[in-house]
């Protein structure tokens, strides 16, 4: 599990943690059954609050990406490729809805958004 937390990001730390782990799960970098580190251990290694890690783990579980076993820890859920694709698309569409509302507040048309998106995507 590879996590990079930015204290200067506008995103809350729990969201950064959730997004990075969910991406690793959905890309297959964290295999089914992979054991996430205990909350206290992850917090210590990342130098963040236990509450922050707990919130990220709860969100991962709510989304069906991990499951917990009392006394044993949290594990990556066994998802089929189709389930991974569906969850990935669902998460992307949720984020896009937020982003599109922001762009619309500036009065951008769909064509303008697409053109700006193309420019940013090609820079990456």
Mean of the per-residue pLDDT values of the chain? 95
CA nearest to 30, candidates 51, 52, 5, 60: 60
Query: How many C-alpha atoms does 14 have within 13 Å on its Cβ side?
Result: 13
CA nearest to 42, candidates 77, 66, 11: 66
Read off the pTM. 0.84
CA-CA distance, 85 to 68, in Å (whole number)? Answer: 22
Question: In the CATH hierarchy, which fold is given to the domain comprising 13-76?
Answer: Arc Repressor Mutant, subunit A (1.10.10)
The string of pLDDT tens digits covering residues 78-94 is 999 999 999 999 999 99
Average pLDDT over residues 13-42: 96
Q: Which residues contact 52 (CB under 8 A, 6 or more apart)?
A: 12, 13, 14, 17, 43
CA-CA distance, 59 to 37, in Å (whole number)? Answer: 16
Residue 15 CB neighbour total at 10 angstroms: 15
Query: How many C-alpha atoms does 105 have within 13 Å on its Cβ side?
Result: 6
Sorted by where each begins, the domain ranges of the chain are 13-76, 81-122
Average pLDDT over residues 45-66: 96
């Amino acid at each position: 599990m590879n996590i990079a937390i930015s204290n200067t990001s506008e995103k809350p730390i729990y969201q950064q943690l959730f997004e990075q782990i969910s991406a690793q799960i959905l890309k297959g970098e964290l295999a089914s059954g992979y054991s996430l580190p205990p909350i206290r251990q992850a917090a210590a290694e990342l130098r963040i609050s236990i509450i922050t890690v707990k919130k990220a783990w709860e969100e991962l579980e709510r989304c069906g990406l991990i499951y917990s076993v009392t006394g044993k820890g949290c594990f990556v859920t066994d998802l089929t490729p189709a389930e991974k694709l569906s969850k990935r698309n669902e998460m992307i569409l949720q984020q896009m809805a937020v982003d599109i509302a922001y762009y619309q507040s500036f009065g951008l048309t769909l064509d303008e958004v697409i053109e700006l998106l193309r420019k940013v995507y090609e820079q990456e």
